[in-house]
A and B are shown apart, each in its own frame.
Chain A
Amino acid sequence: MSVAMIASAADRRLLDESRGTRAMTWIMAIMLFLTVLAGALGLGTLSAAVLLDRQLAGRLTVQIVEAVEAKRTNQTALALAALRASPEVTRAVEVDHAKLAMLLRPWLGTDGADPDLPIPAMIDVDLGVASDAAVARVSAAVRVAAPSARIDRHESWMSPVRDFMAMVTWLAAALVLLMAAATAAVVILAARAGLETHRDTIEVLHMLGSTDVQVARLFQRRIAIDTLLGGVIGTVIAIGVIALVGLQLAALGSDLLAGLSLGARDWMILGGLPVAFAVLATLAARQAVLTALGRYL
């Protein structure tokens, strides 16, 4: 007796498949379409978040908030000196005053150009190491040198965005899991219905000495083929939609959304989803059939 998962050509005729509805194929196509979209969203936000982390990690802005211009200039120089003396700092550059004024113009109007209006001085800082300890040491050094310095980590400005991305990633993962559970449930129901439909045939097979595993194999094969076919259809359509959305995103030219791209590994994961779902469906069907057959004599 072979223990192959897939039945032979003769076995294939055993369950009357001519009238068997192919509903399973279409349900799986829809399931996989939704699952692949959810998976793409999750993987996209995940890679965007990783990119964001990499860009923001170890970046600081030091502001010298001082109304008197002479003091401000002095403190800025002291802060810069302190920064450049810190081993953790790889780069410390004062943001050009004219550029700052330009950035502020939309808020301050033409008054922003008034040289008498005190605008804080700003220093862009890159740290070689992004650890909290390094940030704390650098901050302490700057504060000693320039008491009116205020230090902001870029990470904390972006943390709401970062949290949102994490939430979307988790939501997508939960959706994929829910789809997997729904698929298993549908398959189990279909397998039970199939057992009922083929009850007479199964009884005859049992009387001729078929084992439960042999009977289950007949169902497994059918469900494996139906779900794999449906899954591939759904995945292909979903990947087409994702490609279209990707083109739209690229056209937007947004830095933040550009991070939402899928790498080769992500595409492989998405491509593996229909196979994983077909395997899950097949195992669920097998278990459902074996459990139900256990109640026969």
Chain B
Amino acid sequence: MRVLAPFVSAGNMVNLRGVAQGRQAVAHLRACRRCRDRAMQGAGHQILKRAMRAAMANIVQFENVGLRYGSGQETLSDVSFTLSTGAFYFLTGASGAGKTSLLKLLYLSQRPTRGSIKLFGEDAVTLPRARLPGFRRRIGVVFQDFRLVPHLSAYDNIALPLRVSGVPESDVEAPVREMLAWVGLSDRVEAKPPTLSGGEQQRVAIARAVIGRPEILVADEPTGNVDPDMAERLLHLFDSLNRLGTTVVVATHDFHLLGRIQNAHMMRLDKGRLLDPTGSLRFPPPNAPSGNPE
């Protein structure tokens, strides 16, 4: 398979043509909106943009975040950390430690019960409902339980983010086919999720998460159902996306993967609290801004 060749040779930059195409289509749409904005705001826009970029050095910022489901104990307590734009993070922790809960806060499927969350430089806690879609389109998510739409084919599932963003149908097919090839599912284009194996479903979910080349990719146990070879391939897909500028957060139990990404950061959760050598509950520690995972 042509597109998989560079992808399999570890360490090489993967040729993410499909992602780039999907990205282009989405970017084109954003650009149209931007032209309009610029026309309206004139010179003030440049200043605004510079300020935004400065704020965006940290794409995500959690301050003393707590999350409680119902009236029980807090599932997450005093979680504080920042994610730098363009960095790669692993999130680990025992089952039930709260990884999925933390990621849910990150991809805006849950609001915290206390604390503050900043996303793309804006307060995500008080974000009005009407602005959620715009934020969510900038975040790609691989759900732990995949959440594929069961009556849609693999093709249509992967095409969803582009269609939701309003990409014209003529610009959908090429990136989707490319993505299907990358995750090795070119021969299952029309298959519905219930007829796919667990690993195949997971790969469809990953393709769907990355096709719009989001600014943040959040992956919850993305390699839990695939063999080690495939796990490594998928990780390289994330790595390539990361090199194109996407901030990546991967929750995983798979310690094998941790050493595979150079300069990846590691966050550890224990019973709802973020562990870190200094005990300051902040990651990365200020004195180790881009160190290798220990």
Binding site for B on A (CB under 8 A): 1-2, 8-11, 13-14, 16, 18, 200-201, 203-211, 214, 294, 297
* Minimum CB–CB distance for B94 against chain A, Å: 26
A208 and B169 form a contact (CB under 8 A): no
Binding site for A on B (CB under 8 A): 107-111, 129-130, 132-137, 141, 143, 147-152, 156, 159-161, 163-166, 169, 172, 208
- For A13, give its contact among B136, B156, B164 (CB under 8 Å): B156
Residues of B within 8 A of A200 (CB): 147, 149
A209 and B110 form a contact (CB under 8 A): no
- Chain B residue nearest to A16 (CB atoms) is B151
How many angstroms from the CA of A263 to the CA of B138 in the assembled complex? 59
In the A-B complex, the 8 residue pairs with the smallest Cβ-Cβ separation, listed nearest first, are: A209-B137, A16-B151, A209-B136, A1-B166, A209-B133, A211-B133, A208-B164, A210-B164
Q: Taking A14-B149, A14-B152, A203-B147 as contacts, is the C-beta distance between A208 and B160 under 8 angstroms?
A: yes
* Minimum CB–CB distance for B70 against chain A, Å: 15
Residues of A within 8 A of B169 (CB): 8-10
Residues of B within 8 A of A207 (CB): 107, 109, 136, 141, 143, 147
B151 and A18 form a contact (CB under 8 A): yes
B129 and A208 form a contact (CB under 8 A): no
How many angstroms from the CA of A204 to the CA of B205 in the assembled complex? 11
How many angstroms from the CA of A205 to the CA of B159 in the assembled complex? 12
* Minimum CB–CB distance for B98 against chain A, Å: 18
How many angstroms from the CA of A117 to the CA of B58 in the assembled complex? 115
- Chain B residue nearest to A214 (CB atoms) is B164
A201 and B136 form a contact (CB under 8 A): no
* Minimum CB–CB distance for A6 against chain B, Å: 15
A210 and B152 form a contact (CB under 8 A): no
| A–B pairs, 28, beta carbons within 8 Å | A1-B165, A9-B169, A10-B156, A10-B159, A10-B163, A10-B172, A11-B163, A13-B156, A14-B149, A14-B152, A18-B151, A200-B149, A203-B147, A204-B148, A204-B149, A205-B160, A205-B164, A206-B132, A206-B136, A207-B136, A207-B143, A207-B147, A208-B136, A208-B160, A209-B135, A209-B161, A214-B164, A297-B111
B152 and A208 form a contact (CB under 8 A): no
